[in-house]
Amino acid sequence: MNRDFKRIYQRGKSLANKYCVVYMMKNRAGLSRLGITVSKKLGNAVKRNRARRLLRESFRLLEPQVKDGFDMVIVARFMTVESKQASVQRALYDLLFSLNLIKSE
């Protein structure tokens, strides 16, 4: 697992905003995989778990719109802990759109 994260960090594309950083890389499998990381710098376990839950739920709601065949790692930033779910979801959508990971209708 750690090897996959390192590979995406080194070879993948990334984009960031004040809520999170998204690293992405095309994979050979037909499905997308998601990893979420939260640094201990963000706070205690309660705050880190909240950030993780917000990012996971935001991605879950956006998942039908996301293209298949990509490995993604989302790294939480400090603003995620203090924010509402809707603003985190909007920020994640903007990053995925900028990385061309949103399906065109």
Residue spans per domain, the chain = 2-98
Q: What is the pLDDT of residues 33-72, one digit of tens each?
A: 999 999 999 999 999 999 999 999 999 999 999 999 999 9
CATH number of the domain located at residue range(s) 2-98 in this protein: 3.30.230.10
- pLDDT score recorded for residue 84: 95
Instruction: Return the closest-CA partner of residue 24 out of 53, 64, 59.
Output: 59
Please state, in angstroms and as integers, the Cα–Cα distance from residue 16 to each residue in 75, 76, 86, following that order.
9, 10, 17
Cβ 64 vs Cβ 105: under 8 Å: no
- Alpha carbons 91 and 70: distance in angstroms, whole number: 19
Say which residue, 18 or 104, is predicted with more confidence: 18
